[in-house]
């Protein structure tokens, strides 16, 4: 394990993923980057005003603060796009060998209606994917 990409959105599952990624970085000496994808959807209002770049920038600053308290310096990445596909693309293009992501624990109906980013990344990314629960 040399390069870890942490998918972070500020929620409780993402915080568990952050702790997992920090532990892995400490154990392996891997570098760590944190990605928070601003979701863009087709339509008249492609970016949700409550889930825009400023919200994601705040989440990234919080992740950096938590990681610095643990002695870890992390790169921050704030792209726009489909969250699952964007995480997979960044992992591939950046040469990350591990992706750490939280699971919201959606039931079957929730996955059907909302889709599961962690499930999509776990089944489509070329890197090793750790799903923190």
- Sorted by where each starts, the structural domains of the chain and their CATH numbers stand as 3-132 (3.40.50.620)
pLDDT in tens, 62-113: 999 999 999 999 999 999 998 999 999 999 999 999 999 998 654 444 434 3
**The Cα angle at residue 20 between residues 16 and 25, in degrees rounded to 5:** 145
pLDDT band at 50 (very low <50, low <70, confident <90, very high): low
Residue predicted with more confidence, 117 or 109: 117
Read off the tokens for 2.
């040399």
pLDDT band at 55 (very low <50, low <70, confident <90, very high): confident
* SS3 annotation, 6-20: EECCCCHHHHHHHHH
Task: Please count the other Cβ atoms lying within 10 Å of the Cβ belonging to residue 103.
Answer: 17
pLDDT in tens, 23-40: 999 999 999 999 999 888
Q: Using CA atoms in the order 112, 99, 23, 131, what is the torsion angle rounded to 10 degrees?
A: 20
The per-residue pLDDT for 66 is: 97
User: Burial letters for 72-88: b for 16+ Cβ neighbours within 10 Å, e otherwise?
Assistant: bebebbeeeebbbebbb
The per-residue pLDDT for 4 is: 98
The per-residue pLDDT for 91 is: 98
């Amino acid at each position: 394990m040399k390069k870890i990409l942490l998918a972070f959105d500020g929620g409780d599952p993402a915080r568990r993923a952050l702790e997992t990624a920090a532990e892995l970085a400490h154990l392996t000496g891997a570098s760590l980057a944190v990605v928070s994808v601003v979701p863009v959807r087709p339509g008249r209002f492609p970016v949700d005003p409550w889930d825009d770049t400023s919200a994601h920038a705040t989440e990234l600053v919080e992740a950096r603060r938590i990681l610095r308290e643990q002695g870890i310096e992390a790169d921050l990445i704030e792209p726009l796009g489909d969250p699952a596909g964007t995480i997979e693309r960044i992992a591939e293009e950046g040469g990350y060998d591990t992706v750490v992501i939280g699971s919201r624990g959606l039931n079957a109906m929730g996955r059907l209606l909302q889709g599961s980013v962690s499930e999509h990344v776990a089944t489509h990314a070329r890197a090793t994917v750790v799903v923190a629960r």
